[in-house]
Amino acid sequence: MNNPFENALQQLGKAAKKFEGSRKLQETLALLAQPQREIHVNVPVVMDDGSLKIFPGYRVQYNNARGPFKGGIRYHPQVDLDEVKALAFWMVMKNALVDIPYGGAKGGVAVDPKTLSAGELERLTRAYTRAIAPDIGPYVDIPGPDVNTNETIMTWMAEEYISNLKSQTPMSKEEKEKLWAVTTGKSLDHGGSEGRHSATAQGAWYVFSAFAEKLNITKKSTIAIQGFGNAGYYFAKQLHDHGYKVVAVSDSKGAVYVPEGLDPDATMKCKEEKGTVAGCYCKGSVCDVRFGKPIPSEKIFSLPVDILIPSALENAIHKDNAKDIAAKIIFELANGPTTPEADEILAKKGVTVVPDILTNAGGVTVSYFEWEQNLHGLHWSEKEVNKKLKLKMERAAAVVWDTSQKLNTTFRTAAFAVALERILQVKE
């Protein structure tokens, strides 16, 4: 069984080897070997049938050397402390890599939200928020969306935080407005930012574009995407809209292979009707069984494609399936989708991995823009947001590329080395 936290620390260890061993490095590595704080709460929820259920919840505040803690909230049955610790650690490195003034954190509740009614989901969210409220705040720790959480959930969290605080502290209207910065990824009518819902994919697109020519990616390249949620769907759409060929997508229930290229919008419409992409063979606006083939979810990794994009959960690519991967490029949109053992196998096979902390940093970057807008009473257009995002992502892509050349190492180790360097530069 792969422990994502141990995997994350192995990645850090590899990057650390690229540095001269100074005392500051040793101290920083010792600090980064565990989180500053682990918060474990038990979240009571009155279910629709009147019974009480208790759900385990977590918030891991990993490191705040570069600024307030920042990271998403995940609702998933597999959520546990090691997963949240790993995700929080990756946030530290990601925020440093894209150079936004945040440390890293992550939170989650062990729950399958698909089994909850809308009312149960709202009560769970509000109860979880009350449980962690003393430990979060616009200048302390700022949650955002992740797997199975969205703008409605982020808005509930901000509302709940504000209503609990208001009852205790007298403050001006201006100060109250700033409290909305406690979460990001909120709905537009509650202080959300333009472009946030598709920001992860938009940021990934800027990285993809920056690397495309260098990695010999062409419009003929075939692409398979594992996971068809926020990150996977919007990225499929970006690629398709720019003339690239997405030939396969999967979700937790199944996968489809459309060798001539599928239409992400029609596929999403079909998924919404069926509850899964399985059976959605959509070319243009038409979905028809003649356009493709059903494949088991796991088969997406061994399809004869040029680029594979894991966009679901961690440890998707592991030692047992890495050897079957035919793709020459893996573009990680999910957090931690490749285990260190798989990384070794892929490197030996000559597969290039563009790492998660670079490719999916667009989400947190636009979250940072949302926070800035909330704190300064601003509202930027989607065009402005994307212009700022492009600049950040292109800079990060360039520094990862240059560092990998300079250190003669993989993009992952280069990305970690850049992040570590930035953390080392923090003055005591």
Residues labelled catalytic: 106
Residue 171, both tokens: 């403050």
Which one, 184 or 410, has the nearer CB to ligand NAD? 184
Residue from the set 335, 339, 365, 409 that interacts with ligand NAD by CB under 6 A: 335
Q: Does 365 bind ligand NAD (CB under 6 A)?
A: no
Q: Which residue is nearest to ligand NAD (CB)?
A: 229
Smallest gap, in angstroms, from Cβ of residue 15 to ligand NAD? 20
Torsion, Cα 230 207 96 13, to 10 degrees, reads: 100
Size of the site for ligand NAD (CB under 6 A): 24
Q: Within 300-319, which residues bind ligand NAD (CB under 6 A)?
A: 311-313
Q: Does 146 bind ligand NAD (CB under 6 A)?
A: yes
* Cα 54 from Cα 159, distance rounded (Å): 22
Stretch that binds ligand NAD, among 10-18, 38-46, 129-137, 220-228 (CB under 6 A): 220-228
Q: Does 229 bind ligand NAD (CB under 6 A)?
A: yes
Which one, 276 or 409, has the nearer CB to ligand NAD? 276
Strand-pairing partners, residue 307, are 223, 329
Which one, 61 or 297, has the nearer CB to ligand NAD? 297
DSSP letter at 312 equals S
Smallest gap, in angstroms, from Cβ of residue 322 to ligand NAD? 16
Q: Does 200 bind ligand NAD (CB under 6 A)?
A: yes
394 neighbors 365 (Cβ within 8 angstroms): no
Q: Does 231 bind ligand NAD (CB under 6 A)?
A: yes
Residue from the set 57, 113, 340, 363 that interacts with ligand NAD by CB under 6 A: 363
* Cα 230 from Cα 224, distance rounded (Å): 16
Residue from the set 223, 334, 393, 419 that interacts with ligand NAD by CB under 6 A: 334
Angle formed at CA 147 by CA 112 and CA 354, multiple of 5 degrees: 140
What is the total residue count of the chain?
Answer: 428
CB contact set of 182 (below 8 Å; sequence gap of 6+) = 136, 137, 138, 142, 143, 157, 158, 161, 162
* Cα 202 from Cα 205, distance rounded (Å): 5
Q: Does 250 bind ligand NAD (CB under 6 A)?
A: yes
Handedness of CA 38, 113, 54, 136 (dihedral sign): positive
Stretch that binds ligand NAD, among 129-137, 221-229, 285-293, 322-330 (CB under 6 A): 221-229
From the number of C-beta atoms within 10 Å of its C-beta (0-12, 13-18, 19+), residue 20 rates as: exposed
Site residues (vs ligand NAD, CB under 6 A):
145-148, 200, 226-232, 250-252, 297, 311-313, 333-335, 360, 363
